[in-house]
Amino acid sequence: MATVTYDQATRVYPGSETPAVDRLDIDIEDGEFLVLVGPSGCGKSTSLRMLAGLEDVNEGSIRIGERDVTHLPPKDRDIAMVFQNYALYPHMTVADNMGFALKIAGVPKTEIRQKVEDAAKILDLTEYLGRKPKALSGGQRQRVAMGRAIVREPQVFLMDEPLSNLDAKLRVQTRTQIAGLQRRLGITTVYVTHDQVEALTMGDRVAVLKDGLLQQVDTPRQMYDRPANLFVAGFIGSPAMNLVEVPIADGGVKFGNSVVPVERDALKAASDKGDTTVTVGVRPEHFEVAGGSGLEKESTAGLEVTVNVVEELGADGYVYGTCDIGGEQRDLVVRVPGRDVPEKGSTLNVVPRGGETHVFSTSTGERLSD
């Protein structure tokens, strides 16, 4: 096991002037599960491949433990990688697939057999050791790919969207198994996904990338409660945070027909930049619906939201609606009690709950509130 350090690591592909990964700086602790997340093309897979030695590092360095591995070939880095497409040998049994790397390394057969059996027990694959990959389900194949990585006892696990080929229910089940397994083994793991729910549920810390630049690296709770900028605020959370540009008013911000109090320091910081508006972020669960439990329109406070779609999830419901902000129609998502959902086409008046707003600079996107 070891720490992993990206030190100003940069990758520029031939023929391109814009870095795919630009001065990436992350320190990953020994035994930590770090998730790299972001939209397609943000540089997360390139970052992982740089660590694996599959992509060159044009500037900066990468260290595993105390060793500088920036220019070492993959085989000398003591890492094991789990791919999206499993990459199993179809003509080999599960046991042979799991032990193949050890066989190539010249490990004695008895030791290989023992390590394969131990890994199979951990992954609940013992009864499948004699089967070929084609006789397994997608989830079982992914566990075989995990087993192949485990038997090598590497210092670092690298996982590149390993659940992308699984159906929704199996993804949830398998991500729980992977996270639990990593905690049992205590092996430093760098995991790439585009699914922010996966990132929040699996990682000890999450690193969000956009256009090759690191936006924020933090615990899932801190990432959710204190996003560093507008991009992270809009990307992390499902449904996404509502982001509304509103004018600054005395004592707060003008939110529809109401003035919502926000931190004075945030408003001062916006004024210092010359901004007359700020962008306020409100999670769907942090709206108060005017009119009490019946959700009737009994008040004109806040924003009037026209209900377009209601997503009923049992315990909760999500109202997807539109409202008029500054003469423009904006989409808004509001969480309501599951047994008290409004009718489509009706209207609600909503106000952000006190102390649950996030304030961002409209001009720079940076967070202004504490």
What domains are there in the chain, each with its CATH number?
Answer: 4-234 (3.40.50.300), 242-361 (2.40.50.140)
Separation CA 55–CA 74 (nearest Å): 10
Across the chain, mean pLDDT equals 91
Of 38-42, 147-151, 170-174, 332-336, least confident by mean pLDDT is 170-174
Which ranges in 39-163 belong to alpha helices (H)?
Answer: 44-52, 94-104, 109-122, 138-151
- Mean pLDDT, range 44-52, rounded to an integer: 96
Give me the percent of the chain exceeding a pLDDT of 70. 97
Q: Is the pLDDT of residue 7 over 50?
A: yes
Condensed to tens digits (0 to 9), the pLDDT of residues 193-218 reads 999 999 999 999 999 999 999 999 99
Before 162, cis peptide (omega within 30)?
no
Q: Is the pLDDT of residue 133 over 70?
A: yes
Q: Is the pLDDT of residue 186 over 50?
A: yes
Nearest residue to 116 via CA among 137, 130, 136:
130
**Which DSSP state fits 116?**
H
Separation CA 184–CA 119 (nearest Å): 12
Separation CA 259–CA 250 (nearest Å): 8
Q: Which residue has the tokens 């202004």?
A: 368
pTM: 0.90
Given a contact cutoff of 8 angstroms between Cβ atoms, the answer to whether 133 and 77 are in contact is no
Q: Is the pLDDT of residue 354 over 80?
A: no
In degrees, to the nearest 5, what angle opens at C-alpha 207 toward C-alphas 201 and 212? 135
In degrees, to the nearest 5, what angle opens at C-alpha 277 toward C-alphas 257 and 282? 65
Partners of 207 in beta bridges:
36, 217
Given a contact cutoff of 8 angstroms between Cβ atoms, the answer to whether 282 and 352 are in contact is yes
Give me the percent of the chain exceeding a pLDDT of 90. 66
- Mean pLDDT, range 117-121, rounded to an integer: 93
Separation CA 349–CA 344 (nearest Å): 14
Pairing of strands 21-28, 213-218: unpaired
Partners of 205 in beta bridges:
34
Token code pair at residue 339: 């047994």
